[in-house]
Amino acid sequence: MRKLIEFTCGEETLVGTLDDAAGTTGLLIVSGGNEIRIGAHRGMAQLAERIARADHPVLRYDRRGIGDSTGENGGFESSGEDITAAAQAFRETGVERIIAYGNCDAATALAFFHAQAGIDGLILANPWTVEAVDEMPPAAAIRSHYAAKLRDPKEWLRAARGGVNIAKLAKGLAKISKSAPQTETSLASRLATALAEARVPVTVLLAKGDNTAIAFTDAFKGPAFDAARNRVKIEQLVSDSHSFASPADKDWLSGKVLEAL
């Protein structure tokens, strides 16, 4: 049965949607970006319905300043208290074990804050590792895009006919040349540290053609992630959909979530 619940986070009120079920291992869904708890293309609501039908209760919620919840939106790096409050409210419904799922910056937030929330396992989709400096895709995604084009004879023919946007190409090449290193304070390095220190099972789900997933895959090859690699299970889907939008993507996603549960 699906119902609305409210719970407190500091002095604010968070609103969530609970899909009740008989099991005592539940799924906590944390929304990415500034999305409300229904998710892109109703994806999080549909995922919750599928998981609840398999006898796992599911809680989705709006963090402070988003959707139906009160307060100020401080972004994913200030969402630790929201995640902790949601986990506590979920346990109060009778759930004994919590696996948390998040996409994009919600995945990164869960890596940062799962320990303080007492979460028992993580499913992190397309984790966000990109330092926001401009509106262009991450450098790794640009490299992947150009590499694919260079392997396609049709693109060479198009270039010869003048069908290439030179200004766009120049911007892309400039972005690649300025690719930032993984310093100790970079988002990628902080995520690497959080994953290395995790004491719960971690599954990372990647849509291989998604820019955010490409950026994570590139960062994951770096030395900052050396200590994290043997602690993380990587699952990849041949898709470019960041939100796993197609029916086939949704089937794959729900299957991987059920495996983790």
183 — pLDDT class (breaks 50, 70, 90): low
Range of the domain at 255: 2-131+183-260
Distance CA 76, CA 112 (A): 10
Structure tokens at 64: 């402070």
Write the pLDDT tens digit of every residue in 151-169: 546 554 555 555 555 455 4
> Which CATH number belongs to the domain containing residue 232 in this structure?
3.40.50.1820
Same domain, 115 and 240: yes
Same domain, 48 and 164: no
Q: What is the mean pLDDT of residues 24-49?
A: 96
Same domain, 162 and 87: no
Beta-carbon count within 10 A of 18 CB: 22
Same domain, 8 and 123: yes
Highest mean pLDDT among 74-78, 157-161, 170-174: 74-78
Predicted local distance difference test score (pLDDT) of residue 131: 82
Same domain, 150 and 220: no
Last residue of a domain, which of 179, 194, 209? 179
Same domain, 113 and 171: no
Same domain, 166 and 199: no
Same domain, 95 and 16: yes
Structure tokens at 160: 């010869």
Amino acid letter, residue 243 = S
Same domain, 142 and 106: no
Number of domains in the chain: 2
Q: Which residues of 187-208 are buried (b: 16+ CB within 10 A; e: fewer)?
A: bbbbbbbbbbebeeebbbbbbe
Last residue of a domain, which of 179, 205, 240? 179
Predicted local distance difference test score (pLDDT) of residue 165: 56
Short-list 34, 13, 89, CA closest to 57? 89
Beta bridge partners of 13: 8
Tell me if 34 sits within 8 A of 42, measured CB to CB.
no
Same domain, 61 and 113: yes
Q: What is the mean pLDDT of residues 222-241?
A: 96
Cα within 13 Å of Cα(203), Cβ side = 17
Write the pLDDT tens digit of every residue in 84-124: 999 999 999 999 999 999 999 999 999 999 999 999 999 99
Across the chain, what does the average pLDDT equal? 88
Same domain, 95 and 205: yes
Phi, psi of 40 (to 5 degrees): -65, 135
Same domain, 226 and 188: yes
